Structure 1
Amino acid sequence: MQQYNESLISWKQHKPSKDAGINNIQMPGKPTLMVWQTRDHEPTSYELSLAEHLIMAFSSGAETIDEVVSALNQQGMLHGDGSAFTAESFEQEMARLGH
């Protein structure tokens, strides 16, 4: 199974594309049903670990950003740069990962 949409790599840029993904995301009459249609790469070990720690945080009752950050830090989940999470760094990381 394909783990990510390879077409998104070239399509995702900081400047508008003249082609805008024509025939890259879906070709008319030839749809490709892809489980990971919106992924532009396979998840890293950091992203997978963060997802597991977030599941544990929410499962333990965390509802606010402060509670989630506290749970991540108590679990020993570090930010990608090796520092402990703060509310601000958590929000920035979620924005970065969510594109």
Structure 2
Amino acid sequence: MKAFNEKLAKWINATPSTDAGINNIQVPGQVEHLVWQNRSRAPSQYELDFVQHLIQAFNNDVTELDALTDALNQQGFRTVAGEVWTTESFSKEMQRLGY
């Protein structure tokens, strides 16, 4: 199984063709259903680690944003820039990652 949508990765910065079926993400009648249809690349190690730290926080019944950023900081997980988490940096990171 593919980890990301290879067609999406090629399409993101391309100029779409005006011809039907050419350079489209999906060609009618030839749609390959992917688990990760919205991913243009495989997740980075940072992103995979981020998920694990979020799961750990959620398993400890963390449900509020302030508590979540505190939990990430207590776990020693830092932003991609190496900074401690704030509610603002967490929100910006979720926007950057597309969630």
- The interval holding the TM-score normalised by the smaller chain is 0.7 to 0.9
Partner of 1:70 in structure 2?
70
Q: Deviations over 1:6-41 (max 9, x none)?
A: 12123324xx95449x64322111110211111111
Q: Deviations over 1:71-99 (max 9, x none)?
A: 10011111000111111001000000016
Alignment of 1:1-99 (within 5 A): 1-13=1-13, 17-19=15-17, 23=21, 24-98=24-98
Q: Say which is worse superposed, 22-31 or 44-53, in terms of deviation.
A: 22-31
Report the secondary structure of 1:73's partner residue. Answer: helix
Gap regions ≥5 residues in structure 2? none
Between the aligned partners of 2:28 and 2:69, the Cα distance in structure 1 is: 44
**Matching residue's letter, 2:35:** V
TM-score, length basis structure 2: 0.85
Q: What is the number of equivalent residue pairs in this alignment? A: 96
- The structure 1 segments of at least 4 consecutive aligned residues displaced by more than 6 Å after TM superposition are none
User: What's the RMSD between the two structures over aligned residues?
Assistant: 2.0
Q: Deviations over 1:34-73 (max 9, x none)?
A: 1111111100000000000001111111111101100100
Between the aligned partners of 2:81 and 2:10, the Cα distance in structure 1 is: 26
Between the aligned partners of 1:18 and 1:40, the Cα distance in structure 2 is: 16
**Rg: which structure is higher?**
2
Between the aligned partners of 2:90 and 2:80, the Cα distance in structure 1 is: 10
